[in-house]
Amino acid sequence: MWRRAEELGFHAAYTYDHLSWRSFRDEPWFGAVPTLTAAATATERLRLGTLVTSVKHRSPITV
pLDDT, residue 22, reads 64
Q: First vs last Cα of the chain: how many Å apart?
A: 37
Instruction: Tell me, yes or no, if the pTM score tops 0.85.
Output: no
Q: Render each residue's pLDDT in the chain as its tens digit; 63 residues.
A: 899 999 999 999 998 776 656 666 676 667 788 889 999 999 999 999 988 766 655 566 665
pLDDT, residue 45, reads 94
Q: How far is CA 7 from CA 13, 36, 38, 43, in A?
A: 12, 17, 17, 9
The domain limits of the chain are 2-53
pLDDT, residue 24, reads 62
pLDDT, residue 15, reads 86
